[in-house]
Structure 1
Amino acid sequence: MNKNTIIGFILMAAVLFGFSWYNQPSEEQINAQRKKDSIENVIKQKAEQQQRAKAAAKQAQAQAALADTTALFHPALTGKNSLMTLKNDKVVLKVATKGGHVAEAKVLGFKDKSGDKDLTLFAQTEQCLNFLLAGKETNIITADLYFTPSNATDSTLTLTAEAGNGGSITIDYRLGKNYLVNMKMRVNGLSGIFAPNYKQVDMEWTGKCRQQEKGYTFENRYATLTYKEKNDDSDYVNETEKVIDEPMEFAIDWLAFKDQFFSSVLIPKGDIAPDSKLSSIPQEKGSGYLKQYIAKFKTDFDPTGAQPTEIEMYFGPNDFQVLKAVDDECSFDKDLDMQTLVYLGWPIVRLINRWFTIYVFDWLTSWGFNMGIVLILLTLLLKAITFPLVKKSYMSSAKMRVLKPKLDEATKQYNKPEDAMMKQQAMMQLYAKYGVSPLGGCLPMLIQMPIWVAMFNFVPNAIQLRGESFLWMDDLSTYDPIVEWGTNIWMIGDHLSLTCVLFCVANILYSMMSMRQQKDQMVGQQAEQMKMMQWMMYLMPLMFFFMFNDYASGLNFYYFISLFFSAAIMWVLRKTTNDEKLLAILEARYKENKDNPKKQSGLAARLEAMQKQAEEMRKLREQQMRK
């Protein structure tokens, strides 16, 4: 080590030491930080004390409630928890004798993500329905009681919890032919323990929403605590944020613990009273659950026991036609509209799906076609319906294309920026004389957009696609990975979906084809503006990739084949259009309209009149400014 190296190390050490000394806190700063830390510790300790006090109060309240229950229902506080079975060819339910609630539900004929032929909607400890009866001097919590079963068949079950005074609580179950089960809770010989004005019972319904599908992120978008407001539409609690005890200040017809394709729905005979509280708590990815749901509410109760508290419960698929039939199957006089659990989009889009897509889809499915073939046939049908308008739109663009040389000639003198208005006016006059609408080329996008949005809402909610394979896609209701990796990458996820890649590539190619066609009809400055537009057109497929990589392969496949057929239609129309004949037709129309402006196309004439009016106003303003 030479002399210069040693001097260099010494200087570096001196700089570091000097920098550390210069930046060390002053005595005042040290004292201020100590004071701040002391205050923060005090605040933290107070918060911890308050939290412990709340937990202790809650535990004491629970113990007091249990003691109240013990005083009256001591015969029913001991026993063995058994699971009683209710079943038909649609669903298997297990009812727990402790608490008297449905503890397990299995929907038959729907595979779960592990490959089992039947799907478990929820199992023990994952869902509970609890009645909380508030007496004058005692409280009764059914979750703490052991019930004695009787009248047990595949479709009926009676559970009885005996009270020390000779009274009892009975819960009757009756399973129908499909997915509805009727429950009646009644008290017997206990009217004296309730206040005369006690007409509503408190209920608490809790449940964990299982992850049933492969894609956690995609499925989680459709997992919601949904409710239907009385005499109004259905709505749901925010599905992305943690929501605790959100108050509902209106009566409710039914509540649903919903995931993407299945739901548990509670329908009381009486209304769910206003001021109910709903909670939806998102669960961590990898936990096996999507959300934890909690509903606290009141409904009708007769303390004399003359009328039971009656509830219908639905445990089954989110199938539009099945849910629609619940209105007829339910024994209550309610307009349930439970088919709204299948989300079909905003009002206009919903009409397309409600009165067209669903019926056509069901009709094609009834022929026994593979679901991939159904999507192709549905696409062809939609293309056939919209073809007349698409052709009309294409011909409008073709007319503008063959007129481009004449437009260039008619507007070549207006090359200055300040002549833009005059140039536009000259173009509109020429279009008017040839009977061409410059807005006609916009129709394809306007025609296809509502259909694209309708399918965007329909396909992810079509349970018929669940588990259905086509070509390389194992399940049309979820993504189809060609590459998967263990870690999550921002905006991409942990996989690469093949149908998403195909859709985005097809979108780029279709955009190139569309822009080339539009470029052929652009004049002057419009062509320059088109260069700016093309970058946006190329960026859109990239945005779609980040958006649709998690989406159902069936939806991406539909968009892919829709773009393919759109490109094919455009290519066929281009090849079958004779530009010379089209120009001759326009020239004949021009001669007819040359001396008769009243015969020009209505839209073009209106646009020309607006342009002239704007020009006159501009000249008037200039004259006023000169004065």
Structure 2
Amino acid sequence: MDKNTITGFVLIALVLFGFAWWQQPSAEQLEKERAAYVQDSIRNAKKIADEKRKASELAKAEAAQKADTTALFHQALSGNAQDIVLKNDKVELTLNTKGGTIKKAFIKNYVGHNIEVKDGSKDNKQGVTLFDGEDQRMNFSLATKDNNIETQDLFFTPSNVTDSTLTLTAVAGGGKTLTLNYKLGKSYMLHLSLQTTGMNGLFKPGENQLNIDWQEKSKQQERGYTFENRYATLTYKESNGGTDYLSETAEADETMEESLDWVAFKNQFFSAVMISKDGFQTGARLKSTPQSKESRYLKQYQANMNTAFDPSGKKATELELYFGPNDFRLLQNIESESKFQKELDMEQLVYLGWPLFRYINRWFTIYVFDGLSKFFPMGIVLILITLLLKFITYPMVKKSYMSSAKMRVLKPKLEEATKKYNKKEDQMQKQQAMMQMYSEYGVSPLSGCLPMLIQMPIWIAMFNFVPNAIQLRGESFLWMDDLSTFDPILSWDTDLWLIGDHLSLTCILFCATNILYSWFTMQQQKDQMVGQQADQMKMMQWMMYMMPLFFFFMFNDYSSGLNFYYFISLFFSAAIMWALRKTTNEEKLLAYLEARREENKKNPKKQGGLAARMQAIQEMQRKQQEELRRKQEELNRKKQ
């Protein structure tokens, strides 16, 4: 080791030691850090003590509630918990005599998925278990003068047991009873009435409320956790208003300022809904807490509500419970099965988009979808809807294309007429010259844009419709096992940033077709650009080619049905543009435009509409620029 090397190591060591010494905290800083550590320790100790105190108070409160219930319903605090099933062709509901509420909801005739298996294979073609066991809890609470009655503590005696009816009675002695009457309708609606007898004098004057504590841990039902979770929301309807929902992405805890008609614990395709005949009073507290992907649950839903209760026992508190699919037509007709004669608007559980897009889906897409699905499988239905929409929008697409073609064949003439305006300060005059030529030939540069914009609402409407169409659930087509979820061509165990744990084949096809369509569009626009417009188009071209990449990261987790629709739609759009390009005789088109120009010269027409307004704006801008230039020249002369 030579002298220079040793010197270098020594200098490096000195620098490191010097830096360490310089970074060493002073005595004052050490004292502050010690004091902060002591304060943190005190705060942590207080926090632990508070948590223990709260846990102790909660335990005491639960014991007090049970003691209160014990004091009045001591006869009903012991017994044998018994499962009783109410069923029809649509649903099977299991109730337990301990607590007297629904323990399990099984929805028939829908494909069940085995979420534990990586590919989410169909393991049950007979039905879907909405919840089971401790996944859902429902407790009814009544406050008397001296006691709190909690139905979750009571063992009920069953009677009137059939496939569609069940009466559960808790006996308090001395002729005092609490009765729950259940009646299952022909489809997914369960009617419940709660009534007391012989207990009128036990309640405080004016105490006429039944408290309902309803909770559910919403199960993951579909293969795509992230996609399904976007459509799982705690939804509610205000008595004198519309429907709304809590955040689907973050924890939300809200206290309602209005009374509610119903509250729904909603999954993507199935919901549990509680409806009150007299409404849930103001002050209802609703909470939604997202769950981790590993838990196989989507949300923890909680609703604490009050509704009307008659202490005299003459009038029952009536509720209706819906456990079923989010099917638009079915939910539309659910009012006919309800006994409450309310406008429930439960079809709002099927989200169809913002007002404009909802209008398209409500009055067009659903009718076409329902009609076609009676005769064709769902994959063919998506293709036929695409073809129908292309047929409807073809006149606008052709008009847009022909406008671009006219500008394309006029490009050499425009370049020749405007070549003297190549300076930067002459661009306004160049634009005016181009607008003048467009006017002479009867061509509008905007007519190629506006018709294409009309198609955008249809795209967005389908973006909202397809993920909520339960008819696609479990339906296979070509290589796609389930049109309601993604179709992985490749998958792995670890989530990758922006991609997830799979590659969806339909998403890849959609993005590849998007690149092809963008190329057609850019070529068409490039052929009609003049001067600086062509240079500006290069940047736009890169942006257009980047969009498919953005769509890939966005749609890789979306349903194969939606990606397939976009793939087919873009494929036909590109095919239509290619066919129009091949069948358009540009020489004849130019001859037609020249003849039209001569006719306009003989019979000049005043330009109107948007083109006239644009020309007026450009003329005003030109005059402003000339005025600024004149003032600048005068200022320069004065300085000289």
TM normalised by structure 1 equals 0.97
Match of 2:101 in 1: 101
Match of 1:414 in 2: 421
Question: Any conservation in 1 of the 2:400–2:452 contact (CA below 8 Å)?
Answer: no
CA distance in 2, matches of 1:445, 1:508: 18
Alignment of 1:204-219 (within 5 A): 204-219=213-228
Alignment of 1:19-34 (within 5 A): 19-34=19-34
Is 1:519 paired with 2:523?
A: no
Helix, strand or coil: the match of 1:598? coil
User: Given the superposition, is the C-alpha separation of residues 409 and 529 from structure 1 closer, same or farther in structure 2, using an over 3 Å criterion?
Assistant: same
**How far does the alpha carbon of each residue in 1:258-303 deviate from its partner, in whole angstroms, 9 at most, with x for none?**
0000000000111111110001011111211100100001111111
Q: Which runs of 5+ in 2 are unaligned?
A: 115-122, 636-640
Could you tell me which of 537, 541, 553 is aligned with 1:534?
541
In terms of mean alpha carbon deviation, does 570-579 or 83-92 score higher? 570-579
CA distance in 2, matches of 1:544, 1:290: 25
**How far does the alpha carbon of each residue in 1:344-375 deviate from its partner, in whole angstroms, 9 at most, with x for none?**
000000000000001100100011x1211110
Match of 1:404 in 2: 411
Could you tell me which of 487, 496, 504 is aligned with 2:503?
496
Match of 1:77 in 2: 77
**How far does the alpha carbon of each residue in 1:516-565 deviate from its partner, in whole angstroms, 9 at most, with x for none?**
01111111111111001011101111110110000001100100010000
Alignment of 1:323-362 (within 5 A): 323-362=331-370
User: Given the superposition, is the C-alpha separation of residues 402 and 61 from structure 1 closer, same or farther in structure 2, using an over 3 Å criterion?
Assistant: same
Alignment of 1:299-338 (within 5 A): 299-338=307-346
CA distance in 1, matches of 2:21, 2:572: 73
Question: Any conservation in 2 of the 1:79–1:146 contact (CA below 8 Å)?
Answer: yes
* One-letter amino acid matched to 1:223: A
Helix, strand or coil: the match of 2:275? strand
Percent of pairs with identical residues = 62
* One-letter amino acid matched to 1:517: Q
Residue 136 of structure 1, CA deviation: 1.4
Could you tell me which of 194, 211, 229 is aligned with 1:220?
229
Residue 595 of structure 1, CA deviation: 4.8
Residue 327 of structure 1, CA deviation: 1.5
Alignment of 1:67-466 (within 5 A): 67-114=67-114, 115-117=123-125, 118-244=127-253, 246-367=254-375, 369-466=376-473
CA distance in 2, matches of 1:32, 1:164: 68
Helix, strand or coil: the match of 1:238? coil
Question: Any conservation in 2 of the 1:460–1:477 contact (CA below 8 Å)?
Answer: yes
Alignment of 1:462-611 (within 5 A): 462-600=469-607, 602-611=609-618
CA distance in 2, matches of 1:569, 1:224: 40
Question: Any conservation in 2 of the 1:208–1:292 contact (CA below 8 Å)?
Answer: yes
Question: Any conservation in 1 of the 2:396–2:452 contact (CA below 8 Å)?
Answer: no
Residue 2 of structure 1, CA deviation: 8.7
* One-letter amino acid matched to 1:312: E
Residue 195 of structure 1, CA deviation: 1.6
* One-letter amino acid matched to 2:300: Q
In terms of mean alpha carbon deviation, does 12-21 or 24-33 score higher? 12-21
Match of 2:638 in 1: none
Residue 24 of structure 1, CA deviation: 2.7
Residue 247 of structure 1, CA deviation: 0.7
Residue 452 of structure 1, CA deviation: 0.7
Residue 221 of structure 1, CA deviation: 0.4
CA distance in 1, matches of 2:128, 2:56: 40
Helix, strand or coil: the match of 1:333? coil
CA distance in 1, matches of 2:625, 2:21: 71
Question: Any conservation in 2 of the 1:432–1:601 contact (CA below 8 Å)?
Answer: no
In terms of mean alpha carbon deviation, does 400-409 or 605-614 score higher? 605-614
Residue 27 of structure 1, CA deviation: 2.2
Is 1:612 paired with 2:619?
A: yes
User: Given the superposition, is the C-alpha separation of residues 609 and 83 from structure 1 closer, same or farther in structure 2, using an over 3 Å criterion?
Assistant: same
CA distance in 2, matches of 1:288, 1:396: 54
Helix, strand or coil: the match of 1:286? helix
Residue 25 of structure 1, CA deviation: 2.4
**How far does the alpha carbon of each residue in 1:456-498 deviate from its partner, in whole angstroms, 9 at most, with x for none?**
0000000011111111111110011111111111111111111
Residue 28 of structure 1, CA deviation: 2.1
CA distance in 2, matches of 1:391, 1:558: 22
Helix, strand or coil: the match of 2:170? strand
* One-letter amino acid matched to 2:353: G
* One-letter amino acid matched to 1:280: S
Residue 53 of structure 1, CA deviation: 1.6
In terms of mean alpha carbon deviation, does 30-39 or 615-624 score higher? 615-624
Task: Tell me the C-alpha RMSD between the 2 structures.
Answer: 1.8
CA distance in 1, matches of 2:11, 2:404: 76
CA distance in 2, matches of 1:420, 1:371: 54
Residue 576 of structure 1, CA deviation: 1.1
**How far does the alpha carbon of each residue in 1:164-213 deviate from its partner, in whole angstroms, 9 at most, with x for none?**
33201000000000000100010111111112212221111101100000
Helix, strand or coil: the match of 1:541? helix
**How far does the alpha carbon of each residue in 1:299-341 deviate from its partner, in whole angstroms, 9 at most, with x for none?**
1111111111101110000000011111211111210110010
TM normalised by structure 2 equals 0.95
Residue 45 of structure 1, CA deviation: 1.3
Helix, strand or coil: the match of 1:269? strand
* One-letter amino acid matched to 1:276: A
CA distance in 2, matches of 1:495, 1:425: 53
In terms of mean alpha carbon deviation, does 291-300 or 607-616 score higher? 607-616
Helix, strand or coil: the match of 1:169? strand
Question: Any conservation in 2 of the 1:200–1:301 contact (CA below 8 Å)?
Answer: yes
Helix, strand or coil: the match of 1:159? strand
Q: Which runs of 5+ in 1 are unaligned?
A: none
User: Given the superposition, is the C-alpha separation of residues 617 and 20 from structure 1 closer, same or farther in structure 2, using an over 3 Å criterion?
Assistant: closer
User: Given the superposition, is the C-alpha separation of residues 606 and 16 from structure 1 closer, same or farther in structure 2, using an over 3 Å criterion?
Assistant: closer
CA distance in 2, matches of 1:23, 1:606: 68
* One-letter amino acid matched to 2:207: Y
Question: Any conservation in 2 of the 1:432–1:605 contact (CA below 8 Å)?
Answer: no
Match of 2:119 in 1: none
User: Given the superposition, is the C-alpha separation of residues 525 and 310 from structure 1 closer, same or farther in structure 2, using an over 3 Å criterion?
Assistant: same
Residue 124 of structure 1, CA deviation: 1.1
CA distance in 2, matches of 1:623, 1:543: 48
Helix, strand or coil: the match of 2:279? coil
CA distance in 1, matches of 2:368, 2:506: 24
User: Given the superposition, is the C-alpha separation of residues 16 and 620 from structure 1 closer, same or farther in structure 2, using an over 3 Å criterion?
Assistant: closer
